[in-house]
Structure 1
Amino acid sequence: MSLPDKPLLVYDGDCGFCRVWIARWRRTTGDRVEYAPYQEAAARFPEMPIERFRGAVQLVEPDGRWSAGAEAVFRSLAHAPGRGWGLWLYLRLPGFAPVSEWCYRRVARHRSALERITRWIGW
């Protein structure tokens, strides 16, 4: 395994919805987080089953920690100034983590429709 020098958020590069939101998050986090489609990054992590990359975004930390789904989103955004509140809630507010993961799974399941809506409203 080749650990990144900074947090690496791995996403589905074939997903238009994912690409739209990754572009927004990239603007938010700047150079504090690296972003890569799993179609390119998976080779760096041969021990990780490809299904894990296909199922949800994955955050790989420089210390070797992995997180997925909503947790990965909150952890990656926490690297931007003033954006740590989501991770704080995820880690400390009872019920917030399971609800966040439930919402993440629903969004992931309907990402094609949500991509159209996102583009339609101009995001």
Structure 2
Amino acid sequence: MPDRPLLVYDGDCGFCTRSVFLARRLPARSGWAARPWQELDLAALRTTVDRARHEVLWIDADGRIFGGAAAAARLLRATSAPWSWLGALLTAPVLSSIAEWAYRRIANNRHRLPGTTPACSLPAEQRPAQHPW
């Protein structure tokens, strides 16, 4: 298990890597790390390549795994106000459903967003399993 919360993202997706770059600039309330799933032993983190290809993951220090909008909410909750407030709001019952819908919509269309790479347009199961280097 990670010694601090870990954000697991798609390192082959330009939109994802830029989003993490911006998230790292938010004022942190607690320490967290971010790593591309292609560089991790996902089995040791008790998750799968299929899940990591499908959504961003937040793995807390206790090993609990949150995916998609719930992972984004956990990330925001680890920052200072006002971002932490937004993260708390995104976990409210009605808002969490809306957030998950929005997350899925963005994830499914990330190949159309600025900063994407060719890997973004591939279906999740066809994206590269590891970096070519």
Same-fold call, TM cutoff 0.5: yes
Unaligned runs of 5+ in 2: 117-133
Match of 1:121? none
State the one-letter code of the partner of 2:61.
Answer: P
Encode CA deviations 1:25-81: one digit per residue, 9 max, x unaligned: 011155721000000124463642210000000000001111000110110121111
TM-score (norm 2): 0.77
Structure with the largest fraction of helix: 1
Task: Could you list the structure 1 runs, at least 4 aligned residues long, displaced by more than 4 angstroms after superposition.
Answer: none
**Contact preservation (8 Å) 2:42, 2:49:** no
Q: Extract unaligned runs of 5+ from structure 1.
A: 118-123
Amino acid at match of 1:53: A
| Percentage identity across paired residues of the two chains | 36
TM-score, scaled to structure 1: 0.83
Number of residue pairs aligned between Structure 1 and Structure 2: 114
Separation (CA, whole Å) in 2 of partners of 1:28 and 1:80:
6
RMSD: 2.0
* Matched residue type, 1:38: W
Amino acid at match of 1:85: W
